[in-house]
Chain A
Amino acid sequence: MSMDLSEFLDVFLEECFEGLEVMESGLLNLDEGTDLEEINTIFRAAHSMKGGSAAFGFNHISEFTHVMETLLDQLRSGKRGVDRASVDLLLASVDVLRAMVEGLKSDERPDEEVVSDLTRRLQATIEALPDQAEEEAAGEKARPEETGAKNEEADSAESEAGEESGPPPADPPQAQDAPPSKPRLVKSSGARESSSIRVSIEKVDLLINLVGELVITQSMLNQVGEAILQRGGPEAESLLNGLAQLERNTRELQENVLQIRMLPISFAFNRFPRLVRDLSNKMGKKVELVLTGEQTEVDKTVLEKIGDPLVHLVRNALDHGLETPEARTAAGKPEKGRIELGAQHESGNIVIRISDDGAGLDREKILKKAVEKGLVNGREELSDERIDNLIFQPGFSTADRVSDLSGRGVGMDVVKRNINDLGGTVAIQSEPGKGSTVTIRLPLTLAILDGQLANVGEEIYILPLISIVESLQVRTGNLKSVAGAAELYRFRDEYIPIIRLNRLFGIRGGTDDLEKGLLVVVEAEGQHVGLFVDGLLGQQQVVIKSLETNFRQLQGLSGATILGDGRVALILDVPGLVRLFHETMNRPAAIAAVS
């Protein structure tokens, strides 16, 4: 492919993926009831993919979309009623289409057999359109075997919308308690329709950088302005007024520019209706998924990284949380389980909750397992909450059998680690018989951090405010040493290790006298440690800059920022710092070399 075309190829691919998402969410909505507008949306998406792929010469895609389009056209024109079988067929086609589009990137083709099989099924369905022929026969021929069993919902859907109903379901329709009036599972988000432009993320990040610079320049000007005011003069006052206004505008500009990176969380949520639909079919569980707060905005990077943990948690809720319909009926619950996935802003964080109305956690089993694995000793009394949260410990998995859904070696500990990496926390609450709720708390953006400035010698370091428990002056009476080397401090009822930042980082000029500095008690991975610094300065929001861009990651540091005076200050990564500390403790030679 020539260079100029390949430039457009990226745009085409992106549009394809968007189109696929539109189709998928549209099709899932069709499950709920026929809506001509919805069908039109799906049709348009398929149509533009057909056009685009033909223009690029991807004939296998355009041919396939063409067949899909024909079926969609039948639905659109009302010649065919919307039924579960055709929706299933179209969803399967979307999957194949996605595989084809993904294959374009890696120059692979999806399995020819799958494609031709699906094409055949599509074609059979299309040709079987009963113009005036017997619908029975048509339905039989058209319906592929594996989707045949899945059309319980066909009758609850308002298939009357198209005059004739499609091929009647083979199985007697089961009662389905989905009221047609309930809110759509996937609202084709209004955001997509609002006018927008596509801008590369580099441009946005450049803008953020420049605004960060502007903020620094502005605070420098403020200092100059105040010096001028000291000297007095008629212009000094108006200069200061002007500077105050500049400050307001700059802050507002910064907020708004950071806002550009924010996207609604629906981008992470919109895969779940499909996921839950497929999984519940496979597992013979009945599930209603309720999404709330999809318009809650979150930083693009957070959004990209939260997807996998969420998938894991939702799978878990479905697999371990919800009971089978029989067990639910026996427990006096509605047959259909409920999984709620909600997001909202809470005091500068985004909070995501995944709750199910299933059986809740089996504390006895968790405790037994934890003792087996040596995570707890089994003698101490643990609160219910403590037991529940044991599932996030590394090396913990309660699933007795390894299923297709969970237990693929990716445990809850990985979920927790991923969330911690984003600067967030995760916890679970559970009530036996009533269900569980997992609460994830994440920073709104990875670009800004609430920091506590601390100084060691000449250097200033930033501590994430979220990790600080408290800071205190050292009382020598509480100091203990272990084996003559490790220093411990008695903090409440705990002995916590003291990490001297000046020694760990080899900083010259820091105080070595514990009584002269401050001990900042921080929490890292559930553990308390005391970080010894010279003193604390102010608290401020700092813009996080990656060290990796031009250098590389360093253990114990999560990045750097630029202070008001233009200096660079390093941001401490508390868990990394603790790991670094343990490593150096096991390497006494290096410590001697540093100090």
Chain B
Amino acid sequence: MNGNAAQQLDGDLQPGEGTSQYLTFRLGDEDYGVDILKVQEIKGWTEVTPMPNTPEAILGVINLRGSVVPVVDLRRHFGLAEVPRGPTTVIIVVRADDGKGSVRTIGVVVDSVSEVYNIPVSEVQPPPPAADGVCNAIAGLVTVDEEMIILLDIDNLMVNGVLGRLDEDPGEEPEQCAHNGESHEDQ
């Protein structure tokens, strides 16, 4: 995904009218985007302290300049195959609003970060119903450079999707959220 996308930023960091800026990253062959306003920082892979009795997708906690921050493995959360962490593996630190007045700082492990795009809101397509099953985690789809980018709703993904699972029995990894697309028709 290099170079000539129409919306790619060339030092012009001001998003235009009706556009949003998205940071894109890769998980295997899939491209994802998060609203850049939700991103606090990007940090290299660092050893994580595992926490007991938490879902598989939560790798543990790291020290982020004195704060204890949980780290989520998006591959595991989405049920993708595991890959060894390489030199491009990074932790995107996001600030997720739980809708109840508190903002949580959470680290998200991804294979690599790609670009920052200015994406006109009008070009964002609604997510297909089947994909929307991932706990309303998908805000929409957009095509840049002939490639599809899945735009994530990080608040929903983190607060309802990842942290929400903690209320369930940690003994069994619930999968219904990621795979119940067919039963999910109310949105």
Spell out A's residues near B (CB within 8 Å). 209-210, 212-213, 459, 504-507, 545-547, 549-552, 554-557, 559-560, 562, 566-570, 580, 587, 589-590, 593-594
Query: Which residues on the B side are within 8 Å of A507 (C-beta)?
Result: 50, 52
B144 within 8 A of partner (CB): no
Contact of A556 among B50, B52, B172 (CB under 8 A): B52
Residue-wise interface mask of B (118-135) relative to A, using a CB-CB cutoff of 8 A (1 in contact, 0 not): 000000000000000000
Residue of A nearest to B52 (CB): A505
Enumerate the 6 nearest inter-chain pairs by beta-carbon distance, A residue then B residue, closest first: A505-B52, A590-B171, A209-B66, A568-B49, A213-B66, A551-B70
Q: Are A568 and B62 in contact (CB under 8 A)?
A: yes
Residue of B nearest to A568 (CB): B49
Q: In the assembled complex, how far is the CB of residue A550 from the closest CB belonging to chain B, in whole angstroms?
A: 5
A505-B53, A560-B49 are known contacts; what are 11 more A-B pairs with Cβ within 8 Å? A209-B67, A459-B49, A547-B51, A549-B105, A550-B70, A550-B104, A556-B53, A567-B63, A568-B60, A570-B51, A590-B169
Residue of B nearest to A460 (CB): B49
CA distance A210 to B67 in the complex (A): 10
Query: Which residues on the B side are within 8 Å of A566 (C-beta)?
Result: 63
CA distance A507 to B54 in the complex (A): 12
Q: Are A550 and B105 in contact (CB under 8 A)?
A: yes
Known: A587-B171, A589-B171, A590-B171. A554 touches B65 (CB 8 A): no
Q: Are B51 and A554 in contact (CB under 8 A)?
A: yes
Q: In the assembled complex, how far is the CB of residue B32 from the closest CB belonging to chain A, in whole angstroms?
A: 21
Query: Which residues on the A side are within 8 Å of B171 (C-beta)?
Result: 587, 589-590, 593-594
B29 within 8 A of partner (CB): no
Query: Which residues on the A side are within 8 Å of B50 (C-beta)?
Result: 459, 507
B154 within 8 A of partner (CB): no
Chain B 61-88 residues near chain A, CB threshold 8 A: 61-63, 65-70
CA distance A504 to B51 in the complex (A): 12
Residue of B nearest to A545 (CB): B68
CA distance A567 to B62 in the complex (A): 7
Query: Which residues on the B side are within 8 Å of A545 (C-beta)?
Result: 66-68
Spell out B's residues near A (CB within 8 Å). 47, 49-54, 60-63, 65-70, 104-106, 163, 166, 169, 171-172
Q: Are A568 and B61 in contact (CB under 8 A)?
A: yes
Query: Which residues on the B side are within 8 Å of A550 (C-beta)?
Result: 67-70, 104-106
Known: A552-B163, A587-B171, A590-B171. A570 touches B49 (CB 8 A): yes
Query: Which residues on the A side are within 8 Å of B68 (C-beta)?
Result: 545-547, 549-551, 559-560, 562, 568
Query: Which residues on the B side are within 8 Å of A546 (C-beta)?
Result: 68
CA distance A314 to B13 in the complex (A): 63
Residue of A nearest to B69 (CB): A550
CA distance A209 to B66 in the complex (A): 6
Q: In the assembled complex, how far is the CB of residue B39 from the closest CB belonging to chain A, in whole angstroms?
A: 15
Q: In the assembled complex, how far is the CB of residue B105 from the closest CB belonging to chain A, in whole angstroms?
A: 5
Query: Which residues on the A side are within 8 Å of B104 (C-beta)?
Result: 549-551
A-B contact pairs, 11 of them (CB 8 A): A209-B65, A213-B65, A507-B50, A545-B67, A546-B68, A550-B69, A566-B63, A567-B63, A568-B68, A593-B171, A593-B172
Query: Which residues on the B side are within 8 Å of A552 (C-beta)?
Result: 163, 166
CA distance A589 to B66 in the complex (A): 38
Query: Which residues on the B side are within 8 Å of A594 (C-beta)?
Result: 171
CA distance A569 to B51 in the complex (A): 10
Residue of A nearest to B102 (CB): A549
CA distance A549 to B103 in the complex (A): 9
Q: Are A554 and B61 in contact (CB under 8 A)?
A: no
Residue of A nearest to B64 (CB): A550
Q: In the assembled complex, how far is the CB of residue A389 from the closest CB belonging to chain B, in whole angstroms?
A: 33
Q: Are A506 and B70 in contact (CB under 8 A)?
A: no
Query: Which residues on the B side are within 8 Å of A554 (C-beta)?
Result: 51-54
CA distance A569 to B166 in the complex (A): 21
Q: In the assembled complex, how far is the CB of residue A52 from the closest CB belonging to chain B, in whole angstroms?
A: 28
Residue of A nearest to B163 (CB): A552
Query: Which residues on the B side are within 8 Å of A551 (C-beta)?
Result: 51, 61, 68, 70, 104, 163
Query: Which residues on the A side are within 8 Å of B169 (C-beta)?
Result: 590
CA distance A501 to B8 in the complex (A): 51
Q: Are B49 and A555 in contact (CB under 8 A)?
A: no
Query: Which residues on the A side are within 8 Å of B52 (C-beta)?
Result: 504-507, 554, 556-557, 570
Residue of B nearest to A591 (CB): B171
Q: Are A506 and B163 in contact (CB under 8 A)?
A: no
Q: In the assembled complex, how far is the CB of residue B148 from the closest CB belonging to chain A, in whole angstroms?
A: 31
Known: A550-B106, A552-B166, A554-B51. A568 touches B63 (CB 8 A): yes
Residue of A nearest to B96 (CB): A550
Q: Are B66 and A210 in contact (CB under 8 A)?
A: yes
Q: In the assembled complex, how far is the CB of residue A214 from the closest CB belonging to chain B, in whole angstroms?
A: 9
Q: In the assembled complex, how far is the CB of residue B55 from the closest CB belonging to chain A, in whole angstroms?
A: 12
Query: Which residues on the B side are within 8 Å of A505 (C-beta)?
Result: 52-53
CA distance A545 to B106 in the complex (A): 15
Residue of B nearest to A594 (CB): B171
CA distance A554 to B61 in the complex (A): 13
Q: Are B66 and A212 in contact (CB under 8 A)?
A: yes
Q: In the assembled complex, how far is the CB of residue B173 from the closest CB belonging to chain A, in whole angstroms?
A: 10
Query: Which residues on the A side are within 8 Å of B54 (C-beta)?
Result: 554
CA distance A552 to B166 in the complex (A): 9
Query: Which residues on the B side are within 8 Å of A562 (C-beta)?
Result: 63, 66, 68
Q: In the assembled complex, how far is the CB of residue A532 from the closest CB belonging to chain B, in whole angstroms?
A: 15
CA distance A589 to B68 in the complex (A): 32
Residue from B51, B54, B166 whose CB has the most chain A CB atoms within 10 Å: B51
Query: Which residues on the A side are within 8 Å of B163 (C-beta)?
Result: 551-552
Query: Which residues on the A side are within 8 Å of B172 (C-beta)?
Result: 593
Contact of B49 among A569, A587, A589 (CB under 8 A): A569
Q: In the assembled complex, how far is the CB of residue B60 from the closest CB belonging to chain A, in whole angstroms?
A: 8
Q: In the assembled complex, how far is the CB of residue B115 from the closest CB belonging to chain A, in whole angstroms?
A: 27
CA distance A306 to B47 in the complex (A): 39
Known: A505-B52, A560-B61. A567 touches B69 (CB 8 A): no
CA distance A232 to B186 in the complex (A): 72
CA distance A387 to B87 in the complex (A): 64
Q: In the assembled complex, how far is the CB of residue A406 from the closest CB belonging to chain B, in whole angstroms?
A: 36
Query: Which residues on the B side are within 8 Å of A213 (C-beta)?
Result: 65-66
CA distance A554 to B51 in the complex (A): 9
CA distance A547 to B106 in the complex (A): 12
Q: In the assembled complex, how far is the CB of residue A458 from the closest CB belonging to chain B, in whole angstroms?
A: 9
CA distance A568 to B129 in the complex (A): 40
CA distance A208 to B102 in the complex (A): 21
Query: Which residues on the B side are within 8 Å of A568 (C-beta)?
Result: 49, 60-63, 68
Residue from A212, A507, A562, A568 whose CB has the most chain B CB atoms within 10 Å: A568
Query: Which residues on the A side are within 8 Å of B65 (C-beta)?
Result: 209, 213
CA distance A544 to B54 in the complex (A): 21
Known: A550-B104, A552-B166. A506 touches B53 (CB 8 A): yes
Query: Which residues on the A side are within 8 Å of B63 (C-beta)?
Result: 562, 566-568
CA distance A545 to B62 in the complex (A): 12
